[in-house]
């Protein structure tokens, strides 16, 4: 065939029609290949994958389960490092019935969480990528629930982080439920610890003094075991024995993939909540700014502004300096005020409310460390806006505005009162492809929120905002597509991750779409006459969510993480609803890359 290639940001494509195929279906002008699957070897001495004989030791060297965030860091023109999160496990889909005892399954699951660094290289077609020979890469590495982390920022070593097993409060084993993330200007990867609460059990009633904070974070408040019951193989997960262990999760972590011997870091300065991810930009005045969402119904959007400024040169000293930028500065939470809906647009002004600097708490009655460890409780005291599940929050490198995916909130209008930033209390969904639209209570299809910092300054404390997209079927009256002609756009539901190409188009991936079609990936211009023209770029297999996404710097490739294929009601290893990527008869979460073909 001819060598086509082409810029994925500017290429015209035919939008993918809604479908329920058990495959990655790209726009017809594109093709794709799978880069790496759950179980493929990562570390140099990783054994071959054998689902019937899987062991914790093998899994700790192989690609983990449920890949989520995707980073691609170029090494040279031909090679790069793929850095991924492994958010969680679906044990019921992973193991043939009766092949593994319960304790072994728990230990494999612990090893299948975390992150991976994988050397990749260009494939035979322009824009295609394949994994390199793992035996020859000095970078390949797995991070698991057992990998040692250091702790940075004001809460490092604080009493609240100490446990019987770590009296220093500064040496934490493992990272859990790593959802989205971001690649920093200094070439490291940030990863958000999201729903860490689910991993903890309580062999006895938890300490009453800690119960209110446990409750705010969704941790267990009474005696009992989670369905994972990890405390049966690792006592750290028993709140009765190690009541402060959950304080050591819920952070943004930073990994330097360029140094395979580096110890990853948990950054306390960025606060503790259910971190979707973190995206860093360098403001015009040199301070770095991280935007972050807390993914829970009615939770908040945050930003961090560094005390020190970025050094752009690539010396080792400057890189060390930059890697400390997230350890000191000011943490803010957002409040959104509407200007009234009579103007026909959901929009208004906003303010970033300071919670704490590295030296001074701005929340009465709470110390700096308490604000950082119990950030949700601190934010509750200053009146931020309760949002419809903030997922990815990311600045657009072309127009400087910030885009936040607010995935949905079925309880908006009931448990949570509507406001102009969260206005939808009734929305239209579809139970199956081709079926009728049905009205349901709440915001079922989500929004994309657009923010403009005053003066275009990312360190500003005031901003304006609007809902760029009110997602759904464009035939539904509540939907809005940036002012674009709704008869011409693709339907979209439940935005989760966002990314940008070099011309500033927004790419949106979805999770849990409620319009009868599978989840997928969309491209939409945010400026000019095409602003709001949402076009579906690809769909993912049965039961899967689209994660990543990432447009490579050369604009030739779109990476996606296909997470939890086959995750449907009633499925089991012997009764799978998906067999994607169609190599083994059972599903394997995998990274894929799409390119002009
Ligand atoms: Fe793991 Fe908020 O999605
Ligand atoms: Ca308005
Ligand atoms: Ca999600
Ligand atoms: Ca997510």
State the SS3 of 55-99.
CHHHHCCECCCCEEEEEEEECCCCEEEEEEEECCCCHHHHCCCCC
Classified as helix, coil or strand, 37 is strand
266 burial (CB, 10 Å; 0-12 / 13-18 / 19+) is buried
Q: Domain of 358?
A: 25-194+250-596
> 362-388 burial string, b = 16+ CB within 10 Å, else e?
bbeebbbbbbbbbbbbbbbebebbbbb
* Cα-to-centroid distance, 234 and ligand 3 (Å): 27
- Whole-number Å distance between alpha carbons of 114 and 233: 18
* Cα-to-centroid distance, 469 and ligand 2 (Å): 14
Q: Looking at the domain assignment, is residue 333 inside a domain? A: yes
Let me know: does 51 contact 39? Beta carbons within 8 Å. yes
Give, for 294, the enclosing helix (H) or strand (E).
none
* Cα-to-centroid distance, 179 and ligand 1 (Å): 5
Question: Which atom of ligand 1 is nearest the CA belonging to 389?
Answer: 2
Q: Taken in order 216, 222, 226, 231, is the CA torsion positive or negative?
A: positive
Let me know: does 420 contact 387? Beta carbons within 8 Å. no
Q: How many domains does the chain have?
A: 1
Question: Which atom of ligand 1 is nearest the CA belonging to 195?
Answer: 1
Q: Looking at the domain assignment, is residue 222 inside a domain? A: no
Question: Which atom of ligand 1 is nearest the CA belonging to 293?
Answer: 2
- Whole-number Å distance between alpha carbons of 441 and 544: 25
Q: Looking at the domain assignment, is residue 208 inside a domain? A: no
- Whole-number Å distance between alpha carbons of 381 and 387: 16
- Residue 240 token pair: 């009765």
User: Which stretches of the chain score pLDDT less than 70?
Assistant: 1-5
Q: Whose CA is nearest to atom 1 of ligand 1?
A: 179
- Residue 128 token pair: 């295609």
- Whole-number Å distance between alpha carbons of 266 and 252: 6
Q: Which ligand gives the minimal distance to the CA of 340?
A: 2
Could you count the other beta carbons within 10 Å of the beta carbon of residue 342?
6
Q: What is the pLDDT at residue 5?
A: 66
Q: Looking up tokens 């000293």, which residue turns up? A: 317
Q: Looking at the domain assignment, is residue 285 inside a domain? A: yes
Q: Which ligand gives the minimal distance to the CA of 297?
A: 1
Question: Which atom of ligand 1 is nearest the CA belonging to 68?
Answer: 1
pTM check: above 0.80? yes
Q: What is the pLDDT at residue 239?
A: 98
Q: Looking at the domain assignment, is residue 229 inside a domain? A: no
Let me know: does 328 contact 374? Beta carbons within 8 Å. no
> 190-214 burial string, b = 16+ CB within 10 Å, else e?
bbbbbbbbbbbbbeeebeeebbebb
* Cα-to-centroid distance, 194 and ligand 1 (Å): 7
Reported as a single tens digit per residue, the pLDDT across 560-587 is 999 999 999 999 999 999 999 999 999 9
* Cα-to-centroid distance, 496 and ligand 4 (Å): 5
Classified as helix, coil or strand, 144 is coil
| Cross-strand partners of 252 | 192, 267
Q: Looking at the domain assignment, is residue 204 inside a domain? A: no
- Asked if ipTM goes beyond 0.90, one says yes
3-state secondary structure 175-219: CCCEEEEEECCCCCEEEEECCHHHHCEECCCCCCCCHHHHHHCCC
Question: Which atom of ligand 1 is nearest the CA belonging to 87?
Answer: 1
Classified as helix, coil or strand, 253 is strand
Let me know: does 423 contact 312? Beta carbons within 8 Å. no
- Whole-number Å distance between alpha carbons of 186 and 192: 18
CA distances to 160, 162, 192, 221 from 157, rounded to whole Å, are 8, 7, 21, 26
What is the CB-side half-sphere exposure of residue 142 using CA atoms within 13 A?
Answer: 30
Q: Looking at the domain assignment, is residue 322 inside a domain? A: yes
* Cα-to-centroid distance, 367 and ligand 3 (Å): 32
Classified as helix, coil or strand, 413 is coil
CA neighbor of 395 nearest in space, from 182, 138, 218, 142 = 182
- Whole-number Å distance between alpha carbons of 407 and 190: 21
Let me know: does 298 contact 416? Beta carbons within 8 Å. yes
Q: Looking up tokens 């769909």, which residue turns up? A: 539
Let me know: does 282 contact 381? Beta carbons within 8 Å. no
- Region of 566 on the Ramachandran plot (φ > 0 left; ψ -120 to 50 alpha; else beta): left
Q: Which ligand gives the minimal distance to the CA of 407?
A: 3
* Cα-to-centroid distance, 502 and ligand 1 (Å): 25
Q: What is the pLDDT at residue 1?
A: 36
* Cα-to-centroid distance, 325 and ligand 1 (Å): 26
Q: Which ligand gives the minimal distance to the CA of 337?
A: 2
Q: Which ligand gives the minimal distance to the CA of 344?
A: 2
* Cα-to-centroid distance, 546 and ligand 1 (Å): 11
Question: Which atom of ligand 1 is nearest the CA belonging to 274?
Answer: 2
Question: Which atom of ligand 1 is nearest the CA belonging to 194?
Answer: 1
> What number of helices (H) and strands (E) belong to the chain?
7, 34
* Cα-to-centroid distance, 199 and ligand 4 (Å): 18
- The rounded radius of gyration (Å) of the Cα atoms in the chain is 23
Q: Which ligand gives the minimal distance to the CA of 69?
A: 4
Let me know: does 34 contact 592? Beta carbons within 8 Å. yes
Q: Taken in order 475, 348, 398, 178, is the CA torsion positive or negative?
A: negative
Question: Which atom of ligand 1 is nearest the CA belonging to 177?
Answer: 1
Reported as a single tens digit per residue, the pLDDT across 482-518 is 999 999 999 999 999 999 999 999 999 999 999 999 9
Residues with CB under 6 A from ligand 1: 87, 179, 194, 276, 295, 391, 496
Give the list of residues 6+ apart from residue 57 with CB closer than 8 angstroms, or none. Answer: 111
Q: What is the pLDDT at residue 597?
A: 77
> Which residues surround the ion ligand 2 when the cut-off is CB under 5 Å?
339, 343, 345, 347
Q: Looking up tokens 């969510």, which residue turns up? A: 545
């Amino acid at each position: 065939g001819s060598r086509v290639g082409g810029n994925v940001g500017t290429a015209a494509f035919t939008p993918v029609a809604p479908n329920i195929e058990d495959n990655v279906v790209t726009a017809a002008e594109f093709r794709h290949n799978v880069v790496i699957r759950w179980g493929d070897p990562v570390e140099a001495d990783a054994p071959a994958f054998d689902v019937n004989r899987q062991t914790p030791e093998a899994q700790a060297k192989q690609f983990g389960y449920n890949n989520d965030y995707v980073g691609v860091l170029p090494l040279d023109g031909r090679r790069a490092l793929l850095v991924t999160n492994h958010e969680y496990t679906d044990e019921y889909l992973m193991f043939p019935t009766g092949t593994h005892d319960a304790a072994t399954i728990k230990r494999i699951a612990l090893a299948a969480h975390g992150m991976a660094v994988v050397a990749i290289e260009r494939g035979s077609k322009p824009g295609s990528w394949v994994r390199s020979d793992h035996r020859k890469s000095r970078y390949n590495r797995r991070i698991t629930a057992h990998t040692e982390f250091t702790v940075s920022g004001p809460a490092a070593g604080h009493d609240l982080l100490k446990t019987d097993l770590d009296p220093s409060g500064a040496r934490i084993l493992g990272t859990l439920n790593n959802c989205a993330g971001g690649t920093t200007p200094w070439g490291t990867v940030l990863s958000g610890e999201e729903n860490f609460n689910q991993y903890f059990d309580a062999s006895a009633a938890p300490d009453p003094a800690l119960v209110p904070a446990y409750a705010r974070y969704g941790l267990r408040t009474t005696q009992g075991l989670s369905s994972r019951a990890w405390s049966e193989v690792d006592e750290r997960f028993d709140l009765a024995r190690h009541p402060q262990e959950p304080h050591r999760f819920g952070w943004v972590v930073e990994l330097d993939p360029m140094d395979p011997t580096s110890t990853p870091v948990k950054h306390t300065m960025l606060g503790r909540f259910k971190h979707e991810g973190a995206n860093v930009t360098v403001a015009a005045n040199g301070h770095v700014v991280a935007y972050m969402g807390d993914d829970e119904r009615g939770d908040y959007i945050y930003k961090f502004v560094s005390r020190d400024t970025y050094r752009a040169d690539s010396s080792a000293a400057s890189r060390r300096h930059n890697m400390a930028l997230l350890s000191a500065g000011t943490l803010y939470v957002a409040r959104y005020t509407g200007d009234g809906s009579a103007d026909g647009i959901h929009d208004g002004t906003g303010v970033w409310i300071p919670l704490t600097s590295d030296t001074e708490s701005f929340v009465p009655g709470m110390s700096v460390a308490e604000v950082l460890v119990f950030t949700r409780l601190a934010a509750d005291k200053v009146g931020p806006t309760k949002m419809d599940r903030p997922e990815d929050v990311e600045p657009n490198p072309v127009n400087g505005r910030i885009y936040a995916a607010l995935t949905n909130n079925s309880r908006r209008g009931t448990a949570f009162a509507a406001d102009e930033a969260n206005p939808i209390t009734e929305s239209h969904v579809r139970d199956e492809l081709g079926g009728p639209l049905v009205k349901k209570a709440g915001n079922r299809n989500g929004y994309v929120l657009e923010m403009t910092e005053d003066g275009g300054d990312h360190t500003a404390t005031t901003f304006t905002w609007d809902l760029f997209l009110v997602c759904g079927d464009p035939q539904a009256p509540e939907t809005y597509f940036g002012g674009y002609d709704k008869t011409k756009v693709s339907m979209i539901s439940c935005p989760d991750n966002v990314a940008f190409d070099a011309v500033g188009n927004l790419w949106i991936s979805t999770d849990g779409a409620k319009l009868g079609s599978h989840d997928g990936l969309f491209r939409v211009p945010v400026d000019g006459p095409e602003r709001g023209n949402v076009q579906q770029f690809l769909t993912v297999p049965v039961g899967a969510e689209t994660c990543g996404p990432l447009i490579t710097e050369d604009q030739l490739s779109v990476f996606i993480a296909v997470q939890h294929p086959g995750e449907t009601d009633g499925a089991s290893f012997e009764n799978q609803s998906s067999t994607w990527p169609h190599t083994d008869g059972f599903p394997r979460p995998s990274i894929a890359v799409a390119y002009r073909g």
